[in-house]
A and B are shown apart, each in its own frame.
Chain A
Amino acid sequence: MSARSPAARLLQIELPTLLIVLFAIAPYVWMVLTSIKPTPELAEWPVRYLPRAATLDHYRELLSRTSFAGNLLNSLIIATGASLLGLAVSIPAGYAFSRFRFPGRRSLMTGFLVINMFPIVLLIIPLFILMRSLGLIDTFLGVVIGHSTFSIPFAIWMLTSYFATIPQDLDEAATIDGASRWETIRHVILPLVAPGVATAGIYIFITSWNEYLFAMMLSGQSVRTVTVALQLFIGEFTIQWGLLTAGGTLIAIPVTILFLLVQRRLVGGLTAGAVKS
């Protein structure tokens, strides 16, 4: 590219980038700022941008006087459960897709991809009926299974492409050395794809942590997740913005960190090869 003068760079690149970055983070920053304002300042007009007297009162109230801490724990259990269940079924599937050529392989992979694209509304109605007849409404297992619906097919695709990056020669060398298939997978392949497995696991975790509709349908009081609980601070006439933004901040910070950790790998998986070619 032809060189631009420093002044032109500042004006043509850095300034517009700054505007886009501000657009991206402003609502987030606004949420955090709101969460540390004392309640009277929330209702001030014109709007007070920076808190006059920052306070953690909303957080204190949220964690001590509401069931939010329990909801956080529920979300943690459900998202961890979904990740473990998801990995348990998608690791072997990804391995099989990458290591074997068998009839129907292509259609099966395509099938998993198509399932990923189904409208959620198509599924929640009967899934609710199914869970109800199995007695799984308002149980950890029920929500975990519901959350696996969409992440498993995608995790399989991601893991297949990670497994495919490990040369088959390694499997063969291990087999010649007398290792069983299971030993080969455990001691040779899995350590090499560990970063991919971690990414898939974190992806399922984030999806489950952020999910709202299934959690709302399938959970009641006992396993309520944070995204569902947050909605409850909206009363018919009043909305408790201090509690809401404090809750939002507590939910958002861990996923933002996790997301930043894996985003590069995620993108490659999402565009399914288009970027590579």
Chain B
Amino acid sequence: MSAAALTSVPVAHPQRADWTPVWFLLPAVFVTAAVVLFPVAQTVWLSLYDYVIYNPDGSRFVGWGNFVAVLRDEVFWISLRHSIVWIVGVVGLQFLLGLVAALLLNESFWWRGLARSLVIVPWALPSVIIGLMWTWMYDFNVGVLNDMLLRLGVIATPIAWLARPDTALGAIMLALVWQGFPFFAVTLLAGLQTIPADLYEAAEIDGASRWKRFINVTLPSISDVIATALLLRTIWVANSLDVILVMTGGGPGYATHTLPLYAFQRAYSGMEFGYGAALALVLTVLLLAVVWLYVKRASRDIAR
């Protein structure tokens, strides 16, 4: 940047410092500080103590003790492993299903508008209802899923999907895939709609097959949307615990424990707030890289 450009800045804005934006932002900053920043600071503080809610004065400073205990905690490692399976599986399947849905909904057919509206229905629903609906469908005695699979001959006897350690996590993951795939469908569809038609025409004149056009035109054109959607969804899925809480509460045994759920369980069922806080912080640190990538992408916008 030239010196002339630099010196021209004060000329363009000759006024004194304008305090107006400060007053406009103050309420938002105050509320956010009170309900987010202060609690986060407190979580950090709690994580260093052996904190018991009904006897706060009796809490002992344990320093890194909680974190050392986390690393030695077998259930932490089980939960971490489940979390990874959970994130990769759920986000991956949501993305694939969402991409297929977006490509289909980008074609023209007479009931496209209706299909576009109906596909997003799962996204609107509260997690509690999703958890309950799927629990009802998975029911061992009267569940519709067992009934359909029996009729189709896929299984010979009904399966207690949520009560078996080998099927519980997968069963919950399917419910989550259902809940979140519309997000990908809608965002990727929005991306597809920005691709100029002449790109496809040019590719077609060059003799590119449908698959080639998908690989060389479609995917590169929406790679930005894909990246943003994947990052955002990864953060959400990694943090979500209400559907599991409703469906199995983490059981049977530790079969459906994930990190946020485990942190929640220790803090509330166990009333070990210090240990729960330490677990929550470990989860946050593990997620930080993903959050950072997302924020970096999103904040390109602010630079305008």
Contact = CB atoms under 8 A, between A and B. Distances in A.
A109 B302 contact: yes
Nearest to B120: A263
Given A20-B119, A127-B35, A121 B303 contact: no
B144 A117 contact: no
Interface in B193-211: 194, 200, 204, 210
Given A16-B104, A130-B42, A252-B126, A260 B182 contact: no
B144 A30 contact: yes
B28 A152 contact: yes
A255 B120 contact: no
Contact of A105 (B35, B121, B190, B302): B302
Contacts of A93: 24-25, 27-29
B190 A259 contact: no
B263 interface: yes
A268 interface: yes
B87 interface: no
A238 to B, nearest CB: 12
Contacts of A277: 224
A217 B151 CA distance: 43
A9 B142 CA distance: 38
Contacts of B295: 110, 113-114, 117
A43 B186 CA distance: 37
Interface string A110-132: 10111101111111111101100
Interface in B204-220: 204, 210, 213
B128 A212 contact: yes
Contact of A125 (B27, B267, B284, B298): B267
The contact size tier of chain B is 35 or more
Nearest to B119: A24
A28 B245 CA distance: 20
Contact of B36 (A123, A125, A268): A123
Contact of B40 (A24, A122, A241, A272): A122
A82 to B, nearest CB: 11
A121 B190 contact: no
B75 interface: no
B43 A256 contact: no
B127 A102 contact: no
Contacts of B127: 210, 212
A31 B300 CA distance: 43
A274 B301 CA distance: 9
B142 A244 contact: no
Interface stretch (A52-60, A65-73, A141-149, A186-194): A141-149
Contacts of A230: 128-129, 132
Nearest to A206: B124
Question: In the complex, which of the residues A17, A110, A241, A277 has the most CB atoms of chain B within 10 Å of its own CB atom?
Answer: A17
19 contacts: A2-B210, A24-B120, A25-B118, A27-B133, A42-B142, A44-B142, A88-B27, A95-B24, A97-B21, A105-B21, A115-B32, A118-B40, A125-B280, A126-B38, A126-B39, A164-B304, A227-B129, A274-B227, A276-B194
Interface of A: 1-2, 9, 13-14, 16-18, 20-21, 23-25, 27-28, 30-31, 34, 42-47, 49, 85, 88-90, 92-93, 95-97, 99-100, 102, 105-106, 108-110, 112-115, 117-127, 129-130, 145-146, 148-149, 152-153, 156, 161, 164, 181, 206, 209-213, 217, 227-228, 230-231, 234, 241, 244-245, 248, 251-252, 255-256, 258-260, 263, 267-268, 270-277
Interface of B: 18, 20-25, 27-29, 31-32, 34-40, 42-43, 46, 53, 97, 100-101, 104-105, 107, 109, 111, 115, 117-130, 132-134, 136-137, 141-144, 147, 150-151, 178, 181-183, 186-187, 190-191, 194, 200, 204, 210, 213, 224-225, 227-229, 232, 235, 238-239, 241-242, 245-246, 260, 263-264, 267-268, 273, 276-277, 279-281, 283-284, 287, 291, 294-295, 297-304
